[in-house]
Amino acid sequence: MPLTDDMQLVSVDDHLIERPGVWQERLPAKYKDRGPRITEATVEAHDQYGWGQTFAPGTQVWMLEDAVHAQLGLNAVAGKERTELGTDPVRFDEMIPGCYDPAERVRDMDIDGVQSAILFPSFPKFAGTMFNTVEDKELARLCSTTWNDFIKEEWVDPYPDRFIPMGILPFWNIEETVAEVQRLAGLGFRAITFPENPVPLGLPSFHSDHWDPFFSAVEDADMVLCLHFGTSGKPPITAPDAPMAVMVSLMGTNSMYATIDLLFSPVFHRHPKLRVSIAEGGIGWIPYILERADSTWERHRFYQNINQTVRPSELFHKHMWGCFITDEHGTKHRDEIGIDRLLWECDYPHSDSNWPNSRKITAEAFVDVPDDEVRRIVETNARDLFRFPRS
């Protein structure tokens, strides 16, 4: 058996959908009418990811300040047949409750054979970048910290051995960002979800010194940065009339951008303990991109303001982790990436997830992989990285 019964699946990339009352119940009274709230849209709504989808009035939508944001159906499709998939936003009463109810989620994880999971936000977007658009900056900060309080109190505290706590940040303000990292560290959070590239969000790049206090705080707290693909807010869209399949197929290129951006930046040289997980990017491209990065470094470093002594692939093997659901090419050639660099994902309740068959499909995908390597990929690499031992 490639996936033996004693191996516990630890997913480093799942998603929760926030129940309607999260911010209404938790924000100070004066912010409730401006903060995130669920309503029936009276006007046409645009999808929150900027994928160019619009929806007719009558949709169940989030409002934040005066903006209307539709939820995409693709983000809550666990349990649906492929032929039922679509991009229409769904109502809460159309989702399976595991999307937004932690007790139900734990039951769904049990059905799927998944022991523990890291949860990315939905309405705030995968790195909390929704709140970067909020005009009232005090409301923006509170929206962000409220999500962290919510996930800790409603998901992690009741199931401390099932959910690895990961937080979002008010990253548009560096002082508030550092303060929140320190607060989260005190609360036992293990990870931060952060934009794969801050530039499209109107912020300084990883090549600047702007983020140094933040990276130092993350290092000091022994936390992991999780960069989920798409969190730059710049999806790989080739043409306005390209079918969505083009973007879905190319999402991994965003992870390539983030990987190369970091490897040629000063970040890992200035922050030798920093650890970065590239969420949902897949792994099959890693040998290619590291070979290309090293070859670029070999040929082009002399006239550029980049580190002259450490190869990019060396930095990758010390600082970065690749994440995948199934990836046949990457799994087959895992030795070219490094077994210790690989993390498994479930991606519940999104359309790439294999729920409720994750364990079965993962076992099949690892049929030619030795037991000790499977264990590291599906469980112990994640437990070590996120300091989340078996309970």
Q: Please, what is the minimum distance in Å from the beta carbon of residue 265 to a copy of itself?
A: 8
CA distance 333 to 325: 15
Q: Please, what is the minimum distance in Å from the beta carbon of residue 193 to a copy of itself?
A: 19
Q: Please, what is the minimum distance in Å from the beta carbon of residue 241 to a copy of itself?
A: 5
Task: Select 5 or 303, whichever has its Cβ closest to a copy of itself.
Answer: 303
Task: Select 20 or 236, whichever has its Cβ closest to a copy of itself.
Answer: 236
Task: Select 238 or 309, whichever has its Cβ closest to a copy of itself.
Answer: 238
Task: Select 243 or 272, whichever has its Cβ closest to a copy of itself.
Answer: 243
Q: Please, what is the minimum distance in Å from the beta carbon of residue 134 to a copy of itself?
A: 24
Task: Select 230 or 312, whichever has its Cβ closest to a copy of itself.
Answer: 312
Task: Select 167 or 282, whichever has its Cβ closest to a copy of itself.
Answer: 282
Q: Please, what is the minimum distance in Å from the beta carbon of residue 46 to a copy of itself?
A: 19
Per-residue three-class SS string for the chain: CCCCCCCCEEEEEEECCCCCCHHHHHCCHHHCCCCCEEEECCCCEEECCCCCCEECCCCEEEEECCEEEECCHHHHCCCCCHHHCCCCCCCHHHCCHHHCCHHHHHHHHHHHCEEEEEEECCCCCCCCHHHHHCCCHHHHHHHHHHHHHHHHHHHHCCCCCCEECEECCCCCCHHHHHHHHHHHHHCCCCEEECCCCCHHHCCCCCCCCCCHHHHHHHHHCCCEEEEECCCCCCCCCCCCCCCHHHHHHHHHHHHHHHHHHHHCCCHHHHCCCCCEEEECCCCCCHHHHHHHHHHHHHHHHHHCCCCCCCCHHHHHHHHEEEEECCCHHHHHCHHHCCHHHEEECCCCCCCCCCCCCHHHHHHHHCCCCCHHHHHHHHHHHHHHHCCCCCC
Tell which phi-psi region holds residue 58, choosing left (phi > 0), alpha (psi between -120 and 50) or beta: left
Task: Select 230 or 330, whichever has its Cβ closest to a copy of itself.
Answer: 330
Q: Please, what is the minimum distance in Å from the beta carbon of residue 120 to a copy of itself?
A: 19
Q: Please, what is the minimum distance in Å from the beta carbon of residue 263 to a copy of itself?
A: 8
Residues in contact with a copy of itself by the rule CB under 8 A: 82-83, 85-87, 197, 199, 205-208, 236, 238-246, 248-250, 252-253, 256-257, 260-261, 264-265, 282, 284-285, 287-289, 291-293, 295-306, 312, 326-330, 333, 336, 351-352
Please answer whether residues 347 and 353 qualify as being in contact, where contact means their C-beta atoms are separated by less than 8 angstroms: yes
Task: Select 113 or 322, whichever has its Cβ closest to a copy of itself.
Answer: 322
